[in-house]
Amino acid sequence: MIVTTKVLLDEAKKNGYAVGAFNTVNLETTKAILNAAKEMRSPVVVQMTEKTLDYAGGRAMFHLVKNMAEFYFPDIPVAIHLDHGKSMEIVERAIEVGFPSVMYDGSRHSYSDNVRTTKRVVEIAREKGVSVQAELGNVPYLSEVSENINWDDYMTDPEEAARFVEETGIDTLAVAIGNAHGFTKERDEPDYDRLAKIAKSVSVPLVLHGGSDWEDGRAKKVIELGISCFNVDTAIRLAFIGAISRMLASGEETEIRKILGSGMDAAQETVMKKMELFGSKGKA
């Protein structure tokens, strides 16, 4: 069944686990994510970025996920989400296509600009019953940071977070506590005290981006402190590409479906492990 991220994350927050938000780019990664959710009986967020919408077509990708979820996984709660919408144009495009959940990422703008645009996104989304995620602080990409990064310049301020949520009316908040996207080196130790203060200051579920390499103790600790969702992209890509590369290296397989299927199976295994770690297994 198709639901909003608000529905999934409110339930996760209430019951002390986290939901995985997994990035898809094609049929195979979509099937990997949904097959994992069915196998683990886990709610799931299937999300895509603007680059994916441009690559495969926004309507095509949205309806691929929607049709697969509704026809083949009707008893699994699935949220389809726009990840990191950087402009009003892409957010409005996603809402018009039918996305039940969107993220507007104004984290690279000033606080006032972020508030102003996020409020407008919320106003538009509310008319369509769409839930909205925003980001405060800055979860950096590799191209944005130097070796001697000052993490205090990037992390979410708890008092600002409280004002931001109140002023914008968002449904979920992405926070920065030393986490980073992709292969960017993260803070040696997440700022757990900061996260605890943020969770205490706001009522909405909190999202942690750059969750591909968050394992075991770290993941469990931030869930206990208030994280209700982890974004996972790099781990899926590495599993998918790694499996395909190994099969191609053998030089013995030319069947496209088998080659891509090996990537799909590896990605599914990765997603299942994340769902177990996040505590969402059996929650569907």
| 227-232 and 44-48 beta bridge pairing | unpaired
The reported pTM is 0.94
pLDDT in tens, 49-107: 999 999 999 999 999 999 999 999 999 999 999 999 999 999 999 999 999 999 999 98
pLDDT given at position 152: 76
Angle between helices 192-201 and 216-225 (to 10 degrees): 30
pLDDT in tens, 203-230: 999 999 887 777 778 899 999 999 999 9
| Residue 278 pLDDT > 70 | yes
Q: Give the residues across from 45 on adjacent strands.
A: 21, 79
Query: Are 189 and 178 within 8 A, CB to CB?
Result: yes
Q: Phi, psi at residue 85, to the nearest 5°?
A: -70, 115
pLDDT in tens, 20-53: 999 999 999 999 999 999 999 999 999 999 999 9
Domains of the chain: 2-278 (3.20.20.70)
Establish how many alpha carbons lie within 13 A of residue 124's alpha carbon, considering only the half-sphere containing its beta carbon.
21
One-character DSSP codes across 22-50: EE--SHHHHHHHHHHHHHHT--EEEEE-H
Verify whether residue 83 is a known catalytic residue: yes
Mean pLDDT of the chain: 92
pLDDT in tens, 113-162: 999 999 999 999 999 999 999 999 877 765 666 667 777 777 899 999 99
pLDDT in tens, 240-252: 999 999 999 988 8
Which residue out of 54, 83, 188, 216 is catalytically annotated? 83
